[in-house]
Amino acid sequence: MATALTRKISPKLSECELTHLDRQPINISKAEEQHHQYENALKKMGYSIHRLPETPKLPDGVFVEDTAVVFDELAIITRPGAESRRPETNSMADILKEYRELHFIKSPGTLDGGDVLVLGKNVYIGISKRTNRQAIQQFDQILKPFGYQVHGIKVTNCLHLKTALTPLEDDLLLINPAWVDGEIFDVYQTKSIHPDEPSGANVMRRDNWALCPEAFPRTAELLGKRGYDVITVDQSEMAKAEAGLTCCSVIVE
């Protein structure tokens, strides 16, 4: 069964790392309920939930996507760009070794998993404030024997590459063209999100299910018109921590 690795929210979530947003109070109880709804939505999409050990002293621990990237052949444990987040990778490695052979990004490389978009054998990695070229070179060396091609691309005005685009199908991407150059993906079909919902491109899809934050009704409408069975969840508290839907899980097929 396909598995979603998740983690309980830290009571220190309000102390999370921020890059583009001003700090706002976060209602931890409400955030916990929203995260529970998110896990229930993943279950509805057919995933089995495997919760990682709790990390109450690590504010960003719930954002597990940034700690690992999973491929069919292996998994890569990252080295997050924010130094405070690097201890998060330890428990992820302990659990993920049950599923895959592990490889590790090493200093001076820094990489957040939210910057990694996998489209078949093409791997696009955002060059951002959290991810540098040294880590991208290491990614390329790890993946080249398995036939992957790694492409580094600039990301502007958003935290991670997958803040700006996510795949709906193997050849169809949902994209915010203001944050990433769509011409880079000219071999794929792209569908732009509504400009009133700049963060609306970060969605999740499995089979005919599509998961979308409640805050983006135009995106949900777009998905519905394309024939997807749309699930919406409230992510308002998590959004204050610069989180998208993909941030809170690592998918192992």
In the numeric block, which tokens belong to residue 124? 């696009």
Residues in the chain predicted with pLDDT less than 50, given as ranges, are none
Contact 209, 220 (CB under 8 A): no
Closest CA to 160 of 117, 220, 203, 224: 117
pTM (2 d.p.): 0.96
Q: What is residue 31's predicted lDDT score, i.e. its pLDDT? A: 98
Which of these is catalytic: 16, 35, 158, 160?
A: 160
CATH of domain 3-252: 3.75.10.10
Annotated catalytic residue 160: yes
Question: Do you find a cis peptide bond into 108, omega within 30 degrees of 0?
Answer: yes
Q: What is residue 162's predicted lDDT score, i.e. its pLDDT? A: 96
Annotated catalytic residue 16: no
Which of these is catalytic: 158, 212, 247, 248?
A: 247
Q: Distance between CA atoms of 173 and 192, rounded to whole angstroms?
A: 8
Over the stretch 75-95, which tens digit does the pLDDT of each residue have? 999 999 999 999 999 999 999
- Residue 79 has what DSSP assignment? B
